Amino acid sequence: MFITFEGIEGTGKSTQIALLKEYMQARGERVVVTLEPGGSRIGAELRRVLLALENRDLTSQAELFLYLADRAQHVAQVVRPALASGAVVLCDRFADSTVAYQGYGRGMDPELLHRLNAVAVDGLWPELTILLDLDPVIGLERAVARNLSEGKTNAEGRFEAESLAFHSRVREGFLKLAAAHPERISVVDATGTPEEIAPRVRALVEARLHA
Ligand code: TMP
């Protein structure tokens, strides 16, 4: 089963993935946790280029193709083999992030981005996407606090440095995607503690497993 997690910065995606991993493992599943950008060996190099503050001069078009390159490599080398081996794959961001950030955030055509995503994923779409939805004011506060505590300010701050208006457009973009694909994308309110949010995530996964 292929499950992706989406949302703006600071929604707690990686925490929820870790909690769901424990839960699925306790049920006897083999779980592979991965992320975009950066889930493959080559992707890790692309991630550094994409997120470094020093790369503020990266054009929107170049940025788009680096995300798509990361995705194509990740699907072929990590996600598809893991699914073929019978693992549950939990992925922190996937194709919807490109439509939300490069489309609704940067202003590129969402339909065109969907077609480019289709090339990158080569037929492999998630069975379930959990959209952690949060007010960007709260999300950015959380993301900046986390980056400071992890000493990541210079290495990976390019998106946190974007304006609140940018993150608001990205959030609205995710919500539009969820409205357009209700069979795949489920919205979870990400306000509250991780322990409050985890049962909401588990309920969605259980419902999908028994569907
Ligand atoms: P994160 O892994 O810490 O969430 O950082 C990844 C950043 O990259 C985040 O700000 C969202 C952005 N991003 C895009 O703009 N487009 C994409 O397709 C993906 C996967 C991420």
Answer yes or no: is pLDDT of 153 > 70. Answer: no
Answer yes or no: is pLDDT of 155 > 70. Answer: no
Q: Which of 51, 93, 170 to mutate to test the pocket of ligand 1 (most atoms within 8 A of CB)?
A: 93
Q: What does the pLDDT read at residue 67? A: 98
Cβ-Cβ contacts under 8 Å for 92 (sequence gap 6 or more): 4, 5, 13, 14, 17, 33, 34, 35, 36
> 7: helix, coil or strand?
coil
CB distance 97 to ligand 1 below 6 Å = yes
DSSP labels, 135-176: -HHHHHHHHHHHHHHTT-TTTS-TTTTS-HHHHHHHHHHHHH
Nearest Cα neighbor of 92 from 24, 14, 170 is 14
Answer yes or no: is pLDDT of 142 > 80. Answer: yes
CB distance 9 to ligand 1 below 6 Å = yes
Overall pTM surpassing 0.85 (yes/no): yes
Q: Domains (ranges, CATH) in the chain?
A: 2-209 (3.40.50.300)
Q: Rounded to a whole number, what is the distance in angstroms from the first to the last CA of the chain? A: 13
Q: What does the pLDDT read at residue 161? A: 73
pLDDT tens-digit series, residues 28-42: 999 999 999 999 999
Q: What does the pLDDT read at residue 211? A: 81
CA of 9 to the centre of ligand 1 (A): 8
